[in-house]
A and B are shown apart, each in its own frame.
Chain A
Amino acid sequence: SQQGEEDPQALSIQEGENATMNCSYKTSINNLQWYRQNSGRGLVHLILIRSNEREKHSGRLRVTLDTSKKSSSLLITASRAADTASYFCATDDEGGSEKLVFGKGTKLTVNP
């Protein structure tokens, strides 16, 4: 079962612009995480936001969480060509087990 769904599926921007990706989920969560995947490689954890937090920052990343709308957004500011990757949100399973459930991802292309 997939809990998170990212939007848009693909995003193409110019270097220096901001990139915003959204994630919607269906049931109550304990936390929501964002991961990045370079082409053909494993995923790398970017940031975790807990259900009692509304916003979190890490470098050029800003994550927001709206539990009333069951949605989250990832903002990458001043994007660089090296930010080109797929981005996934992940939430804990609605059954309460310790497994994470991933969405299908947003493919971001940053053009130099």
Chain B
Amino acid sequence: DVKVTQSSRYLVKRTGEKVFLECVQDMDHENMFWYRQDPGLGLRLIYFSYDVKMKEKGDIPEGYSVSREKKERFSLILESASTNQTSMYLCASNPGTGWEKLFFGSGTQLSVL
């Protein structure tokens, strides 16, 4: 089975801190994605990557950056965390051959105080 692992289940940070959310997949998938999920708003795409060192902005990239130095790892970076970035963050991956199903991690609930 495909395993998508997010490094933290819960995270509490202070306003202004630089925050790293890590995601690792073990199935040699080409595509990796970061979503955030908020009540009443559903899932919104922040960034995605279709290859090492390649990235594309999603619908809400402001305040975030990403890094994909190795194929299996996709990091989401909050340069200066703010309270409105308190959310559930979900990482996902897929093989990359075209609109295939996504495999999700368990999520990281981030609280910015």
Measuring CB to CB, which residues of chain A are less than 8 angstroms from any residue of chain B?
1-2, 30-31, 33, 35, 40-45, 48, 88, 90, 92, 97-105
Contacts and interface: CB of A to CB of B under 8 A. Distances in A.
B74 interface: no
Interface stretch (B12-20, B64-72, B77-85, B103-111): B103-111
Instruction: Give the size range of B's interface with the partner.
Output: 20 to 34
A43 B90 CA distance: 9
A104 B99 contact: no
A31 B42 contact: no
Per DSSP, chain B at the interface is strand
13 contacts: A30-B99, A40-B107, A42-B105, A43-B102, A48-B101, A88-B43, A90-B102, A98-B50, A98-B94, A101-B45, A102-B42, A102-B43, A103-B42
Contact of B41 (A31, A98, A104): A104
